[in-house]
């Protein structure tokens, strides 16, 4: 009997030792977060200044838009998850009022058709506030969960009739409240008083030198993909971005 009792006790001890690690893991398994898919969707809205002063860098500006779309639609080798992105491109100027033309509307970044200067050419004045109101309205009509609004300009507001600075800020505030990202790129332009006046933080504005628009938009596209997948909460231009854009050179030449 004593021998049998010893055997039973030994068996129970062995079972407890075997079950112990498994039991210890159960709380961790219960509390472990569910796997998160990094595949995502987002809409990009590019508002491109086509005023007369853009003439000297117009071809480069258009090419940078094509670079952005191509990069936005490309999954890199070591990248986890993919992004299904659409791109809306609108150009603006003023000729007896706002001229706002949508050249691409929710076009797939993966199947992007390159924009060329046959579709639009520089002219007119700069109704920046009016154009901001239009691009935000365009985005609001689409109602995307994730969106990036990119404003590229080379000058100050000088001819809006529909919106004041306060009206443009209110429109962008609605966009920001939705969690959408808003960035301003100064194409050979370093004065962001208009951008700051409509509520954009300094770290989301950047001056870009001629010759650097393409690389800047490529870097922005990668940041946009990270934002879309939730890897980054927001898009911020860091020191490396500013060096690639040659921002200091623009500031020195433009007196900012």
CATH of 40-254, one of 3.30.420.40, 3.40.50.410, 3.40.50.720, 3.40.50.300: 3.40.50.410
Q: Map residue 184 onto helix, strand or coil.
A: strand
CA–CA gap between residue 184 and residue 207 (Å, rounded) = 8
Question: For 48-87, what is each residue's pLDDT tens digit?
Answer: 999 999 999 999 999 999 999 999 999 999 999 999 999 9
- 67, 74 contact by CB (below 8 A): no
| 156 membership: H or E segment, kind and range | none
Query: Partners of 79 in the beta sheet?
Result: none
C-alpha triplet 32, 36, 40: angle, nearest 5°? 170
For residue 8, the model assigns a pLDDT of 46
Using N-to-C axis directions, what is the helix angle for 58-72 and 213-228, rounded to 10°? 30
CA–CA gap between residue 55 and residue 62 (Å, rounded) = 11
CA–CA gap between residue 37 and residue 123 (Å, rounded) = 45
For residue 29, the model assigns a pLDDT of 43
Q: With 0-12 CB in 10 A as exposed, 13-18 as middle and 19+ as buried, what is 247?
A: buried
For residue 39, the model assigns a pLDDT of 87
Residue 170 φ then ψ, to 5°: -60, -40
| 103 membership: H or E segment, kind and range | strand 98-108
Listed in sequence order, the residues at least 6 apart from 161 whose beta carbon sits closer than 8 Å to its beta carbon are: 97, 98, 127, 130
For residue 85, the model assigns a pLDDT of 98
For residue 188, the model assigns a pLDDT of 97
Residues in the chain, pLDDT under 70: 1-38, 256
CA–CA gap between residue 252 and residue 188 (Å, rounded) = 11
């Amino acid at each position: 009997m004593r021998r049998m009792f010893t055997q039973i006790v030994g068996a129970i001890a062995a079972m407890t030792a075997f079950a112990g690690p498994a039991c210890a893991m159960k709380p961790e398994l219960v509390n472990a977060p569910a796997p998160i898919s990094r595949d995502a969707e987002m809409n990009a809205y590019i508002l491109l200044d086509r005023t007369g002063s853009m003439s000297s860098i117009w071809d480069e500006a258009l090419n940078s838009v094509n670079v952005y779309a191509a990069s936005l639609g490309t999954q890199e080798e070591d990248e986890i998850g993919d992004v299904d992105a659409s791109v809306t491109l609108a150009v603006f100027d003023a000729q007896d009022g706002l001229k706002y033309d949508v050249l691409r509307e929710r076009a797939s970044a993966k199947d992007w058709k390159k924009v060329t200067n046959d579709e639009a050419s520089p002219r007119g004045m700069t109704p920046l506030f009016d154009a901001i109101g239009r691009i935000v309205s365009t985005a609001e009509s689409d109602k995307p969960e994730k969106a990036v609004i990119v404003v590229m300009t080379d000058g100050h507001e000088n001819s809006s009739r529909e919106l004041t600075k306060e009206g443009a800020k209110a429109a962008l505030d609605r966009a920001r409240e939705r969690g959408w990202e808003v960035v301003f790129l100064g194409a050979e332009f370093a004065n962001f008083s208009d951008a700051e006046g409509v509520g954009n933080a300094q770290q989301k504005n950047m001056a870009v030198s001629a010759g650097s628009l393409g690389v800047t938009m490529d870097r922005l596209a990668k940041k946009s993909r990270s934002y879309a997948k939730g890897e980054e909460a927001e898009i911020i231009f860091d020191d490396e971005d500013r060096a690639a854009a040659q921002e200091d050179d623009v500031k020195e030449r433009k007196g900012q």
